[in-house]
């Protein structure tokens, strides 16, 4: 039986586009994800076919996606300093991930999925390779299947195949952005579809940040991903972009629109989550107040004090109650208990 691309256990595959060269890859095998390997010679015919398909798919573009021999990949092309041209192909798991099977601590996961009953902005943040898209897509898939409604995704490129029916009452339409300036246009058009949910693959332009905040402030649930090193950096990055299009006062809009910030890093046991959420229908929520007062940098101090206080409280377990989640997770080695909420809050979101 001849080998196919699906037989190569890669996460990222690096192929040269301008002339033949040895391909390289990062393996998805346990313990090998951080090293660079040379693709074995027996895969050369596969690599040749794949490289030709990548060239045809990308054309004169630098980013895109491809379906090849049962494998879906996100593509990124770069011209190097020696004038060679290479592409990185990131393998995409086409099956919609199950949010409850990603390895997120169960009590935090249960609170995350309850957010689908609210509107507002959900930021999923972290570094490259931290699983932001997987978590965001898993959340959207759960919301559609369990709560129903219409969703529109805006991506570059489309990764997970979400289009179509979800459960009895959910449906998703997917839009692929072709140029940077199209992000804001696609977002504006999406609002005319009366979506319950909007998923934006990444915030890239000031105009897109403006449209995203306006959508999250007008009764929609907006989910997006942000490259950041902490929850605070995710919020500051969004404010920086939005201010370029909206001027001053962005903090007031963000404080009203924000529902949650999910920050994660990836470990062998699954996502390691830091989680911020605002109290629904509460303009005086401490998180909203800190954002309005431009004191986002003080969130860490607030987090630490709240966690310390909640750890010492004996509060009965309740579905979605953060105090109960903290009490049951502080002893877990793979969980960092930094969900933020006032100590007196027991209201479900």
- Kind and range of the H or E run holding 244: helix 231-246
Summarize pLDDT for 36-77 with one digit per residue, the tens.
999 999 999 999 999 999 999 999 888 888 999 989 998 999
Question: What does the chain come to in residues?
Answer: 349
> If DSSP states are collapsed to H, E and C, what string results for 13-60?
EEEECCCCCCCEEEECCCCCCCCCEECCHHHHHHHHHHHHHHHHHHCC
Domains contained in the chain, CATH given:
5-92 (3.30.450), 99-329 (3.40.50.300)
Residue 233: C-alpha distances to residues 108, 215, 238 (Å):
21, 22, 9
Asked if residue 316 has pLDDT above 60, the reply is no
pLDDT tens by residue, 102-142 = 888 888 888 899 999 999 999 999 988 788 999 999 999 99
Q: Please compute the mean of the pLDDT values over residues 161-182 and round it to a whole number.
A: 89
Kindly state the tokens that stand for 101.
């099977």
Tell me if 216 sits within 8 A of 121, measured CB to CB.
Answer: yes
Percent of the chain with pLDDT over 70: 84
In this predicted structure, the answer to whether residue 221 has a pLDDT above a threshold of 90 is yes
Instruction: Kindly indicate the confidence band of residue 345, based on its pLDDT and cuts at 50, 70 and 90.
Output: very low
Quote the mean pLDDT of the chain. 83
- 29 pLDDT band, cuts 50/70/90, is confident
Decide: 6 and 92 in contact? Cβ < 8 Å: no
128 CB burial (10 A radius; 0-12, 13-18, 19+): exposed
Between 275 and 170, whose confidence is greater? 170
- Would you state the pLDDT for residue 231? 87
Q: What is the pLDDT of residue 303?
A: 58
pLDDT of residue 302: 62
């Amino acid at each position: 039986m001849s080998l196919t691309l699906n037989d190569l256990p890669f996460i990222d595959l690096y192929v040269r586009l301008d002339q033949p060269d040895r391909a390289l890859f990062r393996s998805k095998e346990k313990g090998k994800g951080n090293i660079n390997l040379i693709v074995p010679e027996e895969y050369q015919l596969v690599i040749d076919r794949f490289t030709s398909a990548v060239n045809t798919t990308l054309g004169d573009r630098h980013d895109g996606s491809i379906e090849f021999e049962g494998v879906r990949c996100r593509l990124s092309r770069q011209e190097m300093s020696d004038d060679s041209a290479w592409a990185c192909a990131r393998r995409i798991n086409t099956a919609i991930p199950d949010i409850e099977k990603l390895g997120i601590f169960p009590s935090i996961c249960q609170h995350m999925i309850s957010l689908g009953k609210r509107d507002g902005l959900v930021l999923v943040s972290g570094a490259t390779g931290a699983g932001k898209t997987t978590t965001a897509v898993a959340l959207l898939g759960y919301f559609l299947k369990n709560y129903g409604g219409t969703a529109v995704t805006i991506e570059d490129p489309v990764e997970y195949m979400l289009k179509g029916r979800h459960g009895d009452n959910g449906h998703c339409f997917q839009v692929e952005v072709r140029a940077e300036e199209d992000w804001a246009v696609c977002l504006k058009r999406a609002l005319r579809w009366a979506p319950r949910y909007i998923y934006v693959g990444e915030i890239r332009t000031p105009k897109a940040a403006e449209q995203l905040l306006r959508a999250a402030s007008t009764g929609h649930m907006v989910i997006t991903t942000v490259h950041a090193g902490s929850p605070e950096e995710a919020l500051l990055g969004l404010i920086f972009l939005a201010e370029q299009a909206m001027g001053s006062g962005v903090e007031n809009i963000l404080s009203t629109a924000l529902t949650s910030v999910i920050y994660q890093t990836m470990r062998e046991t699954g996502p390691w989550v830091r989680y911020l959420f605002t109290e629904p229908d509460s303009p005086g929520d401490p998180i909203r107040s800190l954002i309005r007062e431009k004191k986002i940098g003080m969130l860490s101090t607030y987090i630490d004090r709240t966690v310390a206080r909640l750890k010492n409280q004996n509060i009965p377990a309740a579905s979605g109650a953060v105090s109960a989640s903290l009490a049951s997770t502080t002893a877990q080695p793979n969980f960092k208990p930094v969900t933020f909420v006032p100590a007196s809050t027991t209201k479900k979101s």
